Chain A
Amino acid sequence: MKGLAPLFLGIFGTFAFSWVGLTVIPTWQIGHLNPQSDEEGTDIYPRPQSGMFVRGAHVYAANGCVYCHSQQVRAEYTANDIERKWGNRRSAPRDYIFERPVFLGKMRMGQDLANIGARAPAPEESPAPAGAASPAAQGAAASPAAAQAASPSSGSSPATAPAAPPGTSPASAASPNAPPPPGQRTGVASPSPGQMANATPGGTSPVAPPSAQTPGAPWPIQTAGLPPMYSAAWHHVHLYAPRSINPDSNMPAYRFLYEKRRITGERSAESLQLSGSDAPLDGWQIVPTYDAKCVVAYLMGLNQSHPLKEVRSVGAAPPTGGSPAPAAQGASPPPPGAAK
């Protein structure tokens, strides 16, 4: 090659081309998005997040959750993320405008978390873990949880929540330490509609038939005595002892985010509902540190279920007893404002 000028110009030129093309032009295009709102300027989405959410994001970054969990739902025409109930529409750039850092992720050794907060039971229905010092009391604490799992977790229909029949409580209260009855494990025996794994805000019809094990459910076995799936209390148990919830899980246990404390007087309302070998000795309890509470607050805040104008929402399929999910697709688009 003759001459230095072409060499230097070429080296800079090719690089500048890719820099402008892949970072500068996209910044012009989508780098200054605003939250969307309706005509009255209400119903703003997305909203800036709270301090605990932000700190939780740092805990999420520090412990490398992003290396196994993505936070992006692909469109229904390219992948089955929506059928897996990971969201009711594809993710869009506007969903992330307040996120820093953004955890899109490129690996799914665990499930997608873009809507993990939306899959939780509505907060007002979530029972505070009762201070249960004795096994009997623990069983009692579990029964509202089981009832919880059976109730539709739709934010739009809070009235149905108290009406959920406590069908499962006698069973679990009767045998707090025995293996749970098989019906309860799979949720078939539950007379009420819905199953936690499929709870999508606004998407669950109260008249849906009782569901069997749903194909898309990440962990079909919901052990009795555990808090309702994806509730804050459930996340704490899952972070502390993942294999107590799913024996095959290869998620690391984040025990360093929890403290073992002697019970002095009242048992802490925050203490984890653990069973088996994970439970601490009598007189001790496991309580989350502030970081653990923050990371759970972060997870509970991950929610892209709010409709976006630029993306078509696919109706979240209600649980259909054993039949393939696609049949129910588009059946019940979430009513606006249903999501919290």
Chain B
Amino acid sequence: MNTTGIPLKDPAVSAAAGDTEQLERAYIDASTRVPVLMFYTSAIAWLVLGTILAMVVSFKLHAPDLFGDISFVTWGRLRPAHMNVMVYGWASMAGMGTAVWLMARLCRTTLRFPLLLAAGAAFWNLGVLIGVGAIFLGDSTGFEWLEFPRYVAVILFVAYTLIASWAVLMFRHRRGDQIYITQWYLLGAFLWFPWLYAAGQLMLFVVPLQGVLQSAVTWWYANNLLFLWFGAIALGTAYYMIPKVIGRPVYSYHLATIGFWTYALFSSWIGMTRMVDGPFPAWMITASIAATILTMIPVATVGLNHHLTMQGYFPLMRYSPTLRFTVFGAMSYTVFSVIAVLISLRSVASYVNFTQVSIAYSHLGLYAFFTMTIFGSMYYIVPRLVGREWRYASLIKLHFWASAYGIGLMTLMLLAGGFLQGTNMQNVSLPFSESIQTVLPYLRGRSLAGILLTVSHFIFAYHFGLMLLGLGRTSTVPTFLNPVEAGTSGGH
């Protein structure tokens, strides 16, 4: 039993078997060190840049003359720059880093030729860099979520092929028969993304579809990127981290199977809910709304599964930053999906369409759900790569609370402001400009939330930088546990 009185699992395995396993894990972790750290470092650099851009975007919305009249910092270029930095720079790179590490661990195989994977990461960085530069210079394609020009898509695709083939290669060399739940999600993500990206590029740029179908493809793409790429990685990560940290198997494999397949089936159909009442055949929108309602099945099964796994172990969140972030992310998945259902219903959509509610929705998905889960995985993985524990428990706590309150406040502001905006927009006795005036105070509140998130991201970047420089703690006890040098191994 450990001395701190924390209900961690006992190291019950026999010494010999434990040693072999520990050694094997250490080998696997070591093989992923360079590429995964490279993914993480780039991702966090993009996160910091994207946060700065986000602040400017947020402030300029209620102070439009900020930074004057220079073409490349006009609001309409900063906004897609921010979004693409976050989507392709931060979220994709962080997600791939975590996915590669998880894949190696779960396939129980070392990563072969890690430097080639690092080259893939470098290429991806290059693509994002050129793409963001192109947006600033006014070369955006004008399709939301796909603003990068075509030549950038080529670079990203080459980089991606390099990265994904490594993940699939590891899967081929896996040991053991059992394919764990996380691997389903990761394999799905790695196979869905290229198809999705290629289909988007083909149908918009190579053989462009006619008229409104371009918009249909855009929202089909954006939604699937959110669910089948980011969502799948985040759910896979949660399925690994929660049982791992609390040292208890997933409550039910059966529930997990149902959750995975219904997730793949229904969440890939909900793209058109962004265009309720738009100029499309009504069946497309109705099908999307129906699919959104059906996503309650995976939400219920996944949520229930996580909840029952965690049952009785919730106090552990006090001691594990990984668990704290991951559980926050997993819970946000439920909130995000419930809100998705609410705002897709026709009666509600006629109020909240074309308002800030859609921004709240995207941030719930990409931040509260995905980003928080990935933060959790980083708190778990980075110490295993650099061989040091996180330096300051206080910085981790600050990071968590600033992020949690930041995204919570932001979502509330945008939901409330957006709903009032939509209500006033629907009220023809008020001039249109009234709906904008209504939402402006909420946008100022959002900027305040943005400051919190900025603080949290700078803290995290600083802390990560310390780890990278080898300035972490050398203790065998995780930082969040009682930081007494002579403690016994807490494990996680």
Contacts and interface: CB of A to CB of B under 8 A. Distances in A.
B71 A256 contact: yes
Given A17-B265, A17-B268, A109-B61, A33 B79 contact: no
B456 interface: no
Interface in B261-312: 261, 264-265, 268-269, 271-272, 274-275, 277-281, 284, 287-288
Contact of A22 (B60, B284, B346): B284
Q: Looking at chain B's contact residues, is the secondary structure mostly helix, strand, loop, or mixed?
A: helix
Contacts of A324: 428-429
B109 to A, nearest CB: 16
Contacts of A65: 76
Contact of A107 (B177, B284, B358): B358
B76 A252 contact: yes
A102 B272 CA distance: 15
B365 to A, nearest CB: 15
B65 A253 contact: yes
A198 B188 CA distance: 53
Given A10-B261, A11-B191, A18-B268, A78 B220 contact: no
Given A10-B261, A95-B279, A102-B214, A18 B269 contact: yes
A1 B65 CA distance: 57
A103 B142 contact: yes
A12 B195 CA distance: 9
B209 A31 contact: yes
B432 interface: yes
Interface string B353-383: 1111011000000000000000000000000
A164 B24 CA distance: 89
Contacts of B430: 215
Contacts of B71: 63, 256
Contact of A62 (B139, B144, B432): B139
A15 B220 contact: no
Given A108-B354, A253-B69, A18 B220 contact: yes
A26 interface: yes
Given A26-B280, A246-B433, A63 B272 contact: no
B482 interface: no
Given A18-B224, A108-B355, A109-B436, A7 B75 contact: no
B357 to A, nearest CB: 10
Given A74-B350, A101-B214, A62 B195 contact: no
A255 B142 contact: no
A100 B214 contact: yes
Interface string A253-293: 11110000000000000000000000000000000000000
> Max chain B CB contacts within 10 Å: which of A96, A103, A104?
A104
Interface string A49-82: 0000000011111111111101010110011100
Contact of A84 (B77, B199, B428): B428
Interface residues of B, number: 87
A101 B215 CA distance: 9
B23 interface: no
B82 to A, nearest CB: 11
A166 B314 CA distance: 77
Interface string A94-114: 111111111111111111000
B211 interface: yes
Interface stretch (A36-44, A137-145, A217-225): A217-225
B70 interface: yes
A109 B71 CA distance: 20
Interface string B66-80: 001111001111011
Interface stretch (A85-93, A127-135, A154-162): A85-93
A64 B191 contact: no
A181 interface: no
A83 B64 CA distance: 29
Contacts of A248: 433, 436-437
B279 A78 contact: no
A26 B228 contact: no
Given A218-B433, A253-B69, A108 B425 contact: yes
A18 B200 CA distance: 13
B80 A67 contact: yes
Contacts of A219: 431, 433
Contacts of B346: 78
A96 B195 contact: no
A14 B261 contact: yes
A30 interface: yes
A325 B429 CA distance: 9
Given A102-B215, A106-B358, A91 B279 contact: yes
A255 B69 CA distance: 6
A186 to B, nearest CB: 13
Given A17-B265, A75-B277, A215 B284 contact: no
Contacts of B433: 218-219, 246, 248-249
A276 to B, nearest CB: 15
Interface of A: 1-2, 4, 7-8, 10-12, 14-15, 17-19, 21-23, 26-27, 29-33, 57-68, 70, 72, 74-75, 78-80, 83-84, 90-111, 215-220, 242-243, 246, 248-256, 324-325
10 contacts: A19-B199, A64-B74, A79-B426, A92-B279, A104-B279, A111-B432, A216-B428, A252-B65, A255-B68, A256-B69
Given A14-B261, A67-B75, A84-B432, 9 more contacts: A12-B191, A15-B196, A29-B281, A30-B212, A64-B80, A74-B350, A104-B279, A107-B355, A250-B64
3 nearest A-B residue pairs (beta carbon)? A64-B76, A61-B142, A255-B69
